[in-house]
């Protein structure tokens, strides 16, 4: 097939282009607000960043005054949007393949001029120039292509581009045309929800599954119901590029083009403005700059509340007037509940159109930044009675999936890890930098494991759960998969909190880690795709190393555990000896001190050079201290009883007095 000549040439010099390079097909999420580019190789899909390390290219193009000026694309164009509203084009996706009549409703949101072009198509007018939405999108695509070529070090000619599931033929064709103008051969146009499902590795199995893809961004909301049609011929087929996306059938879609995180920001702004007026009795009219600052600040408050139970709001109004308050997550959730309900009403419509009930949905995939709000996750989980998939970055999941589709089409997907077993053990970090494994390698999926842990520091109110993958015994030699904090635990002495950690791996290999502190009921969780970014040869390498270092590793783990437990013993015994004072005779005190000193020497040696420690001797020293301290426990209990009797005797004297 011959390439149509591109209307706009890219200037990228690509010295490293080879035949194999040319078979690389990039994945592009061409979004209304932001766009991203990704690629998938043996390590799975990954986002490609620009030279400044930015993944996101804002879908904004500025056409500077006078037709000769070079268009400015992305970050820089967005930064000056307010200064140059008439020559900066954004949200052009809303115009793709549309007539002016189609987009009348959107015009009030656009700062630039939209005019009628050939065949009643919507065009952008900048000064004397009439530009088609395809040309604007082509510039964004060209920028993404440039990002990809620079990141990969070779030329890129082919791409998969995503579009919303509800895009009609004209909108899809316009997107293809944009790609062609950008000098890209568009190998396939893929639905955004399908891409999100592909990023999670869905669609590979032989089961028929129904998936809901819930996409809640800044300004728009989309819900799509997809059906995965089992890939019957998969085993016979030698053609891996068989149209995987055709196994995903879009059953129904619904949404709201004006529902998103921006609404929540506005709710916080309104709350603050109302309370300022109530408190200071001011007839406040905030200037635009203050309003803008207030909006940004409200967004930051919202984002903070996704992680913490509360966020502080402070606005300096000048003349020593300061508005200040704490917004608790509970109160925030009360404010946004009906906003989440609006999205659920769209889900109900989509389900009704599909002729389904919520409990017929097998998987829920989350897309869009606003799905980071815990209440959104919780209400959606309850609605569908399924734990939503949140492991992948909701802003990147569509581009990642487009890259997966690209690699399938390029025939380079065969090395990806598609597994029915866990290739490497999974566990968490424990005190001293050791790893406690909960799920052993080669466990079949789905599977579940639970273990109890506690703290080793007094009064700890937050516990970090660090999840690791690998066969080695120490954190430093394993692969870190992620971490989260269990916060708000009431202060308790070391060893008293009862922390239950559960690993659950579902049939698609997605890991859910949850932690509950049983005494306080505090709970937190994280979701992870353990095999993300892991290549087959890396698994082999990690396995090999585990054999090679097995003996040393086991010893190190044992010494570290001994050190942690010995330190706890020493702390407890020293405190008791201090408290009991004269209740302990000198000989016994001296004997105990000797045991303590011996054990402290072991601890110090284990910190300096753990491999040099004689672990058996260390254990013996610890056991000797344990045995010697039995009498101390008895003295301690006797003393407590005496103290208690003395207190009650005092109380009865006080009462009778």
Binding site for ligand AMP (CB under 6 A): 33-34, 217-218, 260-262, 299, 302-303, 306, 368-370, 372-373, 395
Per the structure block, which two tokens stand in for 309?
């139970």
The reply to whether 215 belongs to the active site is yes
User: In this structure, how many other beta carbons lie within 10 angstroms of the beta carbon of residue 357?
Assistant: 11
Q: Which is nearer to ligand AMP, 253 or 636 (CB)?
A: 253
Give the DSSP letter of residue 395: T
Residues 460 and 457: their CA atoms lie apart, in Å, by 6
Strand 363-367 relative to strand 88-90: parallel, antiparallel, unpaired? unpaired
Instruction: Give least dist CB 245 to ligand AMP, A.
Output: 22
CB of 107: closest distance to ligand AMP in angstroms? 21
Instruction: Spot the catalytic one: 158, 215, 265, 299.
Output: 215
- Count of alpha carbons within 13 angstroms of residue 503, beta-carbon side: 28
- The smaller minimum CB distance to ligand AMP, of residues 171 and 370, is found at 370
Catalytic residue from among 93, 437, 522, 622: 93
Distances (CA, A) of 297 to 166, 265, 288, 293, 300: 34, 9, 14, 6, 5
Q: Is 143 a catalytic residue?
A: no
Rank residues 220 and 531 by Cβ distance to ligand AMP and give the closer one: 220
Beta carbon nearer to ligand AMP, 339 or 453: 339
Q: Which one from 135, 146, 158, 192 is the annotated catalytic residue?
A: 192
| CA–CA gap between residue 467 and residue 388 (Å, rounded) | 20
Pairing of strands 88-90, 113-116: unpaired
The neighbouring-strand residues paired with 453 are 499
CB of 436 to ligand AMP, least distance (A): 30
DSSP state of 442: T
Residue 93 appears among annotated catalytic residues: yes
**Nearer CB in complex with ligand AMP: 372/522:** 372
CB-based contact 249:229 (threshold 8 Å): yes
Enter the DSSP assignment of 484: E
**Cβ 32 to ligand AMP shortest distance, Å:** 8
Cα four-point dihedral sign 552, 554, 558, 563: positive
Q: Please tell me the distance from the alpha carbon of residue 644 to that of residue 640, in angstroms, as a whole number.
A: 6
Only one residue has tokens 């007839």, namely 283
Distances (CA, A) of 239 to 40, 231, 234: 18, 12, 9
CB of 369 to ligand AMP, least distance (A): 2
Least gap, CB of 372 to ligand AMP (angstroms):
4
Report the C-alpha gap between 147 and 48 in whole angstroms.
Answer: 7
Nearest distance, CB of residue 223 and ligand AMP, angstroms: 14
Cis peptide before 251 (omega within 30 of 0): no
Q: Which is nearer to ligand AMP, 212 or 632 (CB)?
A: 212
Nearest to 489 by CA among 454, 461, 457, 463: 461
State both tokens at 216.
């809640």
Select 372 or 441, whichever has its Cβ closest to ligand AMP. Answer: 372
Q: Which residues are tagged catalytic?
A: 29, 93, 192, 215
């Amino acid at each position: 097939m011959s390439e149509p000549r591109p209307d706009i040439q890219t200037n990228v010099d690509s010295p490293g282009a080879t035949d194999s390079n040319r078979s690389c097909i990039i994945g592009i999420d061409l979004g209304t607000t932001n766009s991203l580019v990704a690629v998938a190789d043996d390590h799975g899909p990954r986002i490609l960043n620009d030279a400044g390390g930015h993944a996101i290219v804002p879908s904004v193009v500025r056409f500077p005054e006078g037709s000769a000026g070079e268009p400015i694309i992305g970050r820089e164009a967005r930064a000056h949007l307010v200064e140059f509203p008439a020559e900066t084009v954004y949200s052009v996706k809303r115009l793709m393949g549309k007539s002016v009549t189609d987009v009348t409703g959107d015009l009030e949101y656009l700062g630039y001029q939209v005019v009628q072009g050939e065949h009643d198509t919507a065009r952008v007018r900048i000064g004397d120039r009439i530009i088609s939405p395809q040309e604007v999108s082509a510039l964004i695509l060209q920028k993404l292509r440039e990002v990809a070529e620079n990141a990969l070090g070779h030329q890129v000619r082919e791409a998969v581009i995503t579009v919303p599931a509800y895009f009609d033929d004209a909108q899809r064709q316009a997107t293809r045309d944009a790609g062609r103008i950008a000098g890209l051969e568009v190998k396939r146009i893929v639905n955004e929800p399908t891409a999100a499902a592909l990023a999670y590795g869905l669609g590979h199995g032989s089961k028929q599954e129904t998936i809901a893809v819930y996409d809640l961004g800044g300004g728009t909301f989309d819900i799509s119901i997809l059906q995965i049609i089992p890939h019957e011929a998969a085993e016979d087929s030698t053609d891996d590029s068989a149209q995987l996306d055709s196994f995903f059938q879009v059953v129904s879609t619904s949404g709201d083009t004006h529902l998103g995180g921006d609404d929540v920001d506005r709710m916080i702004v309104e709350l603050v403005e109302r309370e300022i007026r109530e408190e200071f009795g001011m007839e406040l009219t905030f200037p635009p700059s203050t309003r803008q600052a207030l909006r940004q600040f409200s967004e930051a408050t919202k984002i903070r509340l996704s992680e913490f139970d509360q966020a502080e709001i402070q606005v300096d109004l000048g003349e020593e007037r300061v508005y200040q308050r704490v917004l608790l997550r509970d109160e925030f959730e009360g404010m946004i509940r009906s906003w989440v309900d609006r999205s659920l009403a769209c889900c109900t419509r989509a389900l009704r159109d599909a002729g389904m009930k919520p409990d017929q949905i097998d998987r829920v995939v989350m897309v869009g930044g606003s799905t980071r709000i815990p209440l959104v996750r919780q209400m959606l989980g309850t609605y569908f009675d399924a734990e939503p998939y949140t492991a992948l970055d909701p802003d990147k999941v569509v581009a990642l999936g487009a890259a997966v589709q690209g690699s399938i089409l390029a025939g380079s997907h065969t090395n990806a890890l598609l597994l029915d077993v866990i290739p490497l053990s999974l566990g968490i970090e424990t005190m001293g930098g050791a790893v406690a494994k909960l799920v052993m390698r080669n466990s079949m999926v789905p599977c579940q494991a639970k273990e109890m842990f506690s703290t080793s520091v007094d009064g700890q109110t937050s516990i970090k759960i660090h999840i690791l993958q690998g066969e080695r015994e120490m954190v430093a030699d394993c692969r870190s998969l992620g971490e989260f904090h269990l916060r708000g635990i009431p202060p308790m002495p070391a060893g008293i909190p009862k922390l239950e950690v559960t690993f659950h791996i579902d049939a698609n290999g997605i890991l859910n880690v949850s932690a509950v502190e049983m005494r306080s009921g505090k709970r937190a969780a994280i979701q992870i795709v353990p095999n993300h970014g892991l290549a087959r040869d890396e698994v082999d390498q990690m396995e090999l190393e585990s054999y090679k270092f097995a003996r040393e590793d086991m010893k190190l783990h044992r010494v570290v555990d001994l050190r942690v437990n010995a330190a706890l013993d020493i702390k407890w015994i020293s405190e008791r000896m201090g408290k009991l004072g004269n209740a302990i005779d000198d000989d016994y005190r001296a004997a105990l001190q000797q045991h303590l000193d011996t054990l402290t020497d072991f601890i110090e040696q284990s910190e300096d050079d753990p491999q040099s420690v004689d672990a058996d001797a260390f254990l013996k020293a610890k056991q000797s201290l344990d045995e010697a301290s039995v009498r101390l426990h008895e003295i301690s209990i006797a003393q407590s009883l005496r103290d208690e009797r003395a207190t009650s005797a005092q109380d009865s004297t006080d009462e009778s007095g």
